[in-house]
Structure 1
Amino acid sequence: MTSTPPARDSDPVTASSDSALDPPPLSFEVVSSDRDKRRALRLVADGIAQQRQVASLAIIFHPLCFVALGVACTLVWRRNSPDLGSALMALSGLVMAYLAAIRLYTSPFLRLAENFSCHSFLAAPEGYQDLVLVARFGGEIIGTLVLRLPPRPGAKAGQSSLKVDAGGGVIRAWTTMLRYRNKSIGADLLRFAVAVTRSACGDDAPVSFDPDHANSSLPLLRIFSRPFRSRDEKAAKALETALRDCDAGQSRFAPREPATDGS
């Protein structure tokens, strides 16, 4: 006759495994430490560099460039058609030269990212510093928004401020880590920015994008900038949605004062 072990209310090993599988918390906050600001603005610099890929695709598949490449390939083929091997090698070389030229043409995006200065970007004309809002997934910063508010009366130069009497917020940078895009992280950052602005400037304070935002520099001919214009239009619509959500009381954010360094 066999006996079964008595049932136990819980298995500590299983419980520990289940809690280890829980995803880390997602939080939004205003950061003040230099270390967190550098980490947050590194995302902005990465976003500037990543524009190179968008620009390259825009040029590769632009109708004008595509037609020119097709005409060149046709001429090369006709010239070398008697020798199939030579024709294929010539076509391959032409396509490689086409892609290399595009790579060279879009390289200024990398220089813009390399020359991006965190300190000078955060410095407002009056000597104050912009606020840096972040999204954290566990301990990792996965989203950044740089917000400029009017300086509060009596504030010292070099300080950030959450309490002002009038004016509105200006968004100078807004980005999310590449693998977390299209997951509503950016939209939540916009709602948080609206909440922070209105807690500082009043319930009717406007929020807008800075025309000279971090990604506004485009070292391209205008005919290749359509994807970037479309991006700016989508960002404006996303901000309008965030403002409507806050006006309707659908924002879940309660702005927090930035933590002091070392806390």
Structure 2
Amino acid sequence: MADKDISLPSEAESSDPLATLPELTTKPAASEDDKVEALHLIADSVAQQRQLASSAIIFHPVTLGVLVLFFGLTYQYFYRGALSDWGIIGTTSAGILMAVLISVRWMTGGYIFEAERVGTWKWLDDGREGADSGIVGSQDEILLTRFGDEIIGTIVVRGIRESSASSGKTRKNAPTTGVIRAWTVQRRYRRKGIGQGLLEEAIALCQSKGWLGPEFADDHANSAKIIHPTFSGGFKKRERQARETLQRVIEEQGGVAAGKKAKR
């Protein structure tokens, strides 16, 4: 039998197990396909909020209290001491639980419609209709983080000129602020510093253009308030943490000083 041609790894490759890992890069979207991938990633992040909202409602003390009350009433009404009563109690309790889950599904369904709205060209160009919108440039800046060839994160930044308080109109030489309209990372790559890296790139983008900020837009992609405020405590906390993270990264990158310089 002929000897097989076996290629052994070089000494450098065998000593460095990370040498074969794909490269992590962050660059502007270069094509229409890149922008479509970014929109899909943003829409997915909005749709994922439905799961968070469902958990917030189901495990909220109010919901759990109502369930316990109904289960207690079911037991009190149907149990008469016979073993067969437990079958009726179990069936009724399961029906109550199913009704609650269906209600939660209905209450959080708005996130799916919001995801469909956000993942479109119309959303990307939203606000550009007016002649004096104050938006800088013909399109938003979209930065993509790739792990090899896979897009795993994106951030969308728009420059907006400040308007006059009296007339509401913008001047060409008015200060411009970078506004973050979307910021997301694929779920399995979160909590690994990729989101912070995107914020750092957004700050560098604003500095290179002489813009103030950046800051999160009030109507950013994940800002829609679908569920009742009673259950939205977790969303408020995430929003606050995102803004605090951005402020911390700006201070670390010297973005505040650069913004003040640009404003003068």
TM, length-normalised to structure 1: 0.79
Structure 1 consecutive aligned stretches of length 4 or more whose deviation exceeds 4 Å: 16-21
Q: Which amino acid aligns with 1:209?
A: F
Contact between 1:32 and 1:132, CA under 8 Å: does it hold in 2? no
Contact between 1:143 and 1:186, CA under 8 Å: does it hold in 2? yes
Aligned partner of 1:175 in structure 2 is 184
Contact between 2:181 and 2:216, CA under 8 Å: does it hold in 1? yes
Contact between 1:165 and 1:201, CA under 8 Å: does it hold in 2? no
Give the 3 Å change call, closer, same or farther, for CA 217–199 of structure 1 in structure 2. same
Distance 1:53 1:208 in 2: 27
Match of 1:96 among 90, 98, 102: 98
What is the CA-CA distance between 1:166 and the residue it aligns to?
Answer: 4.2
The one of the two structures with greater contact order (alpha-carbon pairs below 8 A, sep at least 6) is 1
Encode CA deviations 1:202-248: one digit per residue, 9 max, x unaligned: 6xx32100001011112211111111111110100110111012118
Give the 3 Å change call, closer, same or farther, for CA 117–50 of structure 1 in structure 2. closer
Aligned partner of 1:244 in structure 2 is 251
- Is 1:54 matched with 2:52? yes
Matches within 5 A, 1:90-129: 90-123=92-125, 124-125=127-128, 126=133, 128-129=138-139
Contact between 2:40 and 2:119, CA under 8 Å: does it hold in 1? no
What is the CA-CA distance between 1:14 and the residue it aligns to?
Answer: 2.9
Aligned partner of 1:142 in structure 2 is 152
What is the CA-CA distance between 1:47 and the residue it aligns to?
Answer: 0.6
Give the 3 Å change call, closer, same or farther, for CA 117–46 of structure 1 in structure 2. closer
Distance 1:118 1:90 in 2: 44
Paired residue total: 225
Q: Which amino acid aligns with 1:235?
A: A
Contact between 2:39 and 2:118, CA under 8 Å: does it hold in 1? no
Distance 1:115 1:236 in 2: 24
Q: Which amino acid aligns with 2:95?
A: G
Q: Which amino acid aligns with 2:201?
A: F
Distance 1:176 1:188 in 2: 11
- Is 1:24 matched with 2:34? no
Instruction: Using the aligned pairs only, state the percent identity.
Output: 35
Q: Which amino acid aligns with 1:185?
A: I
Aligned partner of 1:7 in structure 2 is none
Q: Which amino acid aligns with 1:149?
A: G
Match of 1:132 among 142, 147, 150: 142
Give the 3 Å change call, closer, same or farther, for CA 246–20 of structure 1 in structure 2. closer
What is the CA-CA distance between 1:12 and the residue it aligns to?
Answer: 3.3
Aligned partner of 2:201 in structure 1 is 192
CA RMSD of aligned residues (A): 2.4
Matches within 5 A, 1:223-262: 223-247=230-254
Aligned to 2:176, the other structure's residue is in SS state: coil
- Which has the larger displacement, 33-42 or 107-116? 107-116
Contact between 1:165 and 1:200, CA under 8 Å: does it hold in 2? no
Aligned partner of 1:219 in structure 2 is 226
Aligned to 2:26, the other structure's residue is in SS state: strand
Distance 1:242 1:27 in 2: 19
